[in-house]
Structure 1
Amino acid sequence: MWKSVVHHLFRNQSSSASENVINTFKDINSYRITLSNPKTRNILSIDILQSLIEEIKNAGNDLSLKSIVLCSNGSVFSAGHDLNELTIQEKQKKVFSLATKLMNTMIDCPIPIIACVDGIAAASGCQLVAASDIALCTTRSSFSTPGVNLGLFCSTPGIPLSRVMSKKTVSYMLFTGISINAEEALRTGLVSKVVQPEKLDDEITKLTSMIGQKSRDVITLGKQFFYKQIDDNIKSAYKNGEKIMLKNLELDDCKEGLQSFIEKRKPSWSS
């Protein structure tokens, strides 16, 4: 189970500090970031976006960590952007600029990011799930891009959604605003696994423990290439994949892994 001291990060700005709380704690080699304001449906305000960028960057730079977990308190994972901020012209550009920066930060993070949803993920909250490397959710979770109902099409959420889900499902979500349930999200590629609510925490621990047993250097190399090859045509991807496999073989941890297999022992990673 997750054990450690919880650090309460209060981001000042906005109407009250309690509206901008993110809780974080470190457990052995994984770092959990929790959106902790269910009263606001865990909206992704400017302050929260900035905090997420900072926390993910810091965690990625911590060489003792091998994964990051994004989760939330309450029945809503995140309802998306703060609509009040979007009515203020001076803040509009900053909201979307920070959202893009967050997406790039997640891609560039050297370790996998795991979204854990137990409830509603809507609009940019759904985007956050789609942008994660791995996503777990409970049977009572749902996902939607309801911006069209308010006259603001969910164009940016559609970017990661269209890269992980079937085109027809994403179009259905974007053009209707209707939510899909956990099983539909699993079937169409938005989430990696669905579990019962009472088993979510155990599943998180199991997953982070498995990743924690791997070499960080190998994980980082693999994640970097994974995102690079997605944009390549298949022949270029194979050509570059050949090079990355040879580069992987040069890593000390790869040499150790292969040798440990030959010697029938557990590998001792340097990272």
Structure 2
Amino acid sequence: MLSCVMKPQICIHMVLRRCYSDVVRVAEVDGIRKITMIDDKTRNSMTIKMTQNLLKAVTENVDGPELRAIVISSGGRMFSSGHNLKDLASSDGRKVFALYSELMVAMQACPVPVITAIDGAAVAAGAQLVAQSDIAIASNESTFATPGANFGVFCHTPGIPIARSTHRKTAAYMLLTGLPLTAQEAVERGLVSRVVRKDELEKEVAAVCDAIKAKSKAVVSLGKAFFYKQLELDTGSAYKEGAKVMSDSLDLPDGIEGLKSFAEKRKPTWKHKA
């Protein structure tokens, strides 16, 4: 699990400013929590330990006004090689899927946007992590594949967010053949949000984070929650619920401030309170 580089009492007050384990490094700067997978030995495979660390990093101290976005990236040769086959063959193998599903649900429930920054191959559960993230930005050298059936373990759970973010035929192609998509194919088919040159990836991620930070956390959190809720509703119910949420948002302190600042032609001063 994560261990704190700084003294424990300082780390608590600074909201996970700088923590690490031997599989992830976590640093929080100016409201952005950067989670870097550093288990290059296993090509950032989703071991139980890796999953536990990621789950902790996307659920700990996320409700305060300081945190505005979470970015998950990787160091080493690839983004992630997916579930660790040695783990799956062990006595604890069956625990992996339930734990990883818990991480996926936590990412969606997280009150701030979860962004993946991909440089290299995202395979199986690695592609699942990308598909489940709110925003995915990839370098043009990245690839995406779900080849589990090649090893006798079909990518059932990776297919859940992939089928919800890509075209149906694209999801079936990936899951049934195991053949990879290029970064360009992934952006054209909805798996990732944007593709940039490798040397522009960090700059593009920073620009996205800056755009998020310019907004009220309360407004963005409410928007993210309803966005995922309405996806499960029929169109009529979605509009009914959406109209209510929008009406209620006018009573938020930051809803009031936003409209007032627009009328007064000035920058808003957000309180970030629900």
Scaled to the shorter chain, the TM-score interval is over 0.9
Contact 1:80/1:124 (8 A) holds in 2:
yes
Question: 1:182, CA displacement in angstroms?
Answer: 0.4
Between the aligned residues of both structures, percent identity stands at 43
Question: 1:37, CA displacement in angstroms?
Answer: 1.7
- Structure-to-structure mapping, 1:18-29, within 5 angstroms: 18=22, 21-29=23-31
The equivalent of 1:63 in structure 2 is 65
Count the aligned residue pairs.
258
The equivalent of 1:9 in structure 2 is 20
Cα distance in 1 for partners of 2:17, 2:245 equals: 39
The equivalent of 1:75 in structure 2 is 77
- Structure-to-structure mapping, 1:126-137, within 5 angstroms: 126-137=127-138
Cα distance in 2 for partners of 1:59, 1:208 equals: 18
Question: 1:38, CA displacement in angstroms?
Answer: 1.6
Cα distance in 1 for partners of 2:267, 2:128 equals: 38
Cα distance in 1 for partners of 2:63, 2:95 equals: 25
The equivalent of 1:233 in structure 2 is 234
Contact 1:6/1:23 (8 A) holds in 2:
no
Contact 1:145/1:174 (8 A) holds in 2:
yes
The equivalent of 1:163 in structure 2 is 164
Contact 1:80/1:123 (8 A) holds in 2:
yes
Q: Which runs of 5+ in 2 are unaligned?
A: 1-15
CA spacing shift, 1:76–1:59, aligned 2, 3 Å = farther
- Structure-to-structure mapping, 1:1-271, within 5 angstroms: 7-10=18-21, 18=22, 21-88=23-90, 90-271=91-272
Cα distance in 2 for partners of 1:146, 1:8 equals: 33
Question: 1:95, CA displacement in angstroms?
Answer: 0.3
Cα distance in 1 for partners of 2:31, 2:19 equals: 20
Cα distance in 2 for partners of 1:55, 1:114 equals: 13
Question: 1:62, CA displacement in angstroms?
Answer: 3.7
Cα distance in 2 for partners of 1:270, 1:263 equals: 18
SS in 1 for 2:192: coil
Cα distance in 2 for partners of 1:35, 1:59 equals: 20
Q: CA RMSD in A?
A: 1.4
Contact 2:17/2:29 (8 A) holds in 1:
no
Q: Which amino acid aligns with 2:53?
A: S
In the superposition, the TM-score normalised over structure 1's length comes to 0.92
Question: 1:74, CA displacement in angstroms?
Answer: 1.7
Question: 1:168, CA displacement in angstroms?
Answer: 0.5
SS in 1 for 2:27: strand
Q: Which amino acid aligns with 1:27?
A: V
Q: Which runs of 5+ in 1 are unaligned?
A: 11-17
Question: 1:7, CA displacement in angstroms?
Answer: 3.5
Cα distance in 2 for partners of 1:213, 1:22 equals: 28
Cα deviation 1:10-47 (Å, max 9, x = unaligned): 2xxxxxxx4xx200111201110000122211011101
SS in 1 for 2:25: strand
Cα deviation 1:141-164 (Å, max 9, x = unaligned): 000000011111000000000000
The equivalent of 2:7 in structure 1 is none
Cα distance in 2 for partners of 1:173, 1:105 equals: 25
Question: 1:6, CA displacement in angstroms?
Answer: 7.8
